[in-house]
Structure 1
Amino acid sequence: MNQLSHLNHAGEANMVDVTDKAVTLRQARAEAYLSLNEHTLTLITEGKHPKGDVFAVARIAGIQAAKKTWDLIPLCHPLMLSKVEVVLTPLTDPSRIHIETLCRLSGQTGVEMEALTAASVAALTLYDMCKAVQKDMVIESIRLVEKQGGKSGDYQGKRYD
């Protein structure tokens, strides 16, 4: 079994030293879903939600979260992201919102956590913006969809839709 890279020689949690790693292009996509009722989804898509443009706020929150991942997840490195994208797609039957994020950089460590954090915070922001209208929404299926680059190579998750 490979030694865990986030543990030092004494078995203590430790930030990985990436100094000697090559700078390469790295990219990750993540997704999440927010299940909500048809009425709430209609308020959002028709621009009639009492809190305004719910999608705009969630999109900005996701982008901001990706940039702050190192501040939220203790052993993540601060990264110079070159691209963060948050796409929010309303779906019907069942009524839900698909959140897909993309993070990209040229660097020494991956961006999976940034993509996952962006998807999570965008979902939480959608929930926060809509909780006055509906409290029984469900955030689900937060996952890494794919990653490219780095020592461990590319990863493509299974499609579940």
Structure 2
Amino acid sequence: MAGGEKNGLTHLRADGRAEMVDVGAKQETERTAIAAGTVVMAPETLQAILSGDARKGDVIAVARLAGIMAAKKTHDLIPLCHPLALTKVAVEIVPDEALPGLRVEALARVTGKTGVEMEALTACSVACLTIYDMAKALDKAMVITDVRLVEKTGGKSGIWRAGDADHGAAAR
């Protein structure tokens, strides 16, 4: 047992050294995670994106693809993440004129011994960053906000939903 498990931090040994968690003895289960975030922008920026007037091209299509690619590279980006054979990654991006902006939702799925929360969060984050990058010539004041885990299923802990968390909105 890693020394860090006593204090709940599974990636730290008792002496403070970081280590990758050994998941070898864990059960393989289907695991899914959903992450969400938003990119808030000027109404004119949203309209330019939706009408295809962004100079760099189809913002939504490129951001969706960037998110999918990012999920597949999570272990290269986040120290101590296990490389996973993802069975599904989906990124949905929908306009919300009330923000105004774009809402991003990323789903990652695997049958394996460790969860896919980081893959879903990475997909969502990179999709949001790509939206910013592709539209920054129109609106440098865009704000990426509320990137968070919405739901995870599978593994020993079962189902978790953001609304079930005690600290949810208070932490933001």
The interval holding the TM-score normalised by the smaller chain is over 0.9
Q: What is the number of equivalent residue pairs in this alignment?
A: 160
CA 1:132–1:154 in 2, change beyond 3 Å: closer, same or farther? same
TM-score, with normalisation over the residues of structure 2?
0.88
Measured after TM superposition, the shift of residue 77 of structure 1 is: 0.3
Residue number among 142, 148, 152 corresponding to 2:153 in the alignment: 148
Query: Aligned pair 1:42/2:47, yes or no?
Result: yes
Higher-helix-fraction structure: 2
Distance 2:136 2:53 in 1: 15
Residue number among 29, 32, 36 corresponding to 2:37 in the alignment: 32
Question: What residue ranges of structure 1 are gaps of 5+ in the alignment?
Answer: none
Distance 1:94 1:102 in 2: 22
* RMSD, matched Cα: 1.5
The corresponding residue for 2:67 is 62
Partner-residue secondary structure (3-state), 2:133: helix
TM-score, with normalisation over the residues of structure 1?
0.94
User: How much identity, in percent, do the aligned residues show?
Assistant: 54
Query: Aligned pair 1:104/2:106, yes or no?
Result: no
Distance 1:43 1:112 in 2: 32
Measured after TM superposition, the shift of residue 11 of structure 1 is: 3.0
The corresponding residue for 1:5 is 10
Distance 2:23 2:43 in 1: 47
Partner-residue secondary structure (3-state), 1:123: helix
Farther off after superposition, 61-70 or 41-50: 41-50
